[in-house]
Amino acid sequence: MKQVGAFVWDFVVGDDWVGAVGVVVVLALAGLVAHATHSAAWWVLPPGVAIVLAVMLRRAVRALPARVPPP
């Protein structure tokens, strides 16, 4: 069971936990909008995913070592 849990954690979270949390937040927001408006809230997902991807990319780029220009 411990190995299955470790696999699921690695599969869902992967390399960046911010992405996993961001997707959960976007899905929860879409659910809240759908519940509050009693209509489809699919339109919340594309901008939410774009924002999560932008945040993940920005974090990844900042984590890269500084490149030294050639002389």
Smallest Cα–Cα separation from 25: which of 48, 56, 1? Answer: 48
Model pLDDT for residues 8-54, shown as the tens digit of each residue: 888 877 778 898 899 999 999 999 999 999 999 999 999 999 999 99
Which of 63, 26, 68 is closest to 48 using CA atoms? 26
> In terms of pLDDT, which residue wins out, 61 or 68?
61
55 confidence band (pLDDT: 50, 70, 90):
very high
Task: Note the pTM of the prediction, 2 decimals.
Answer: 0.76
Q: Domain segments of the chain: what residues?
A: 2-63
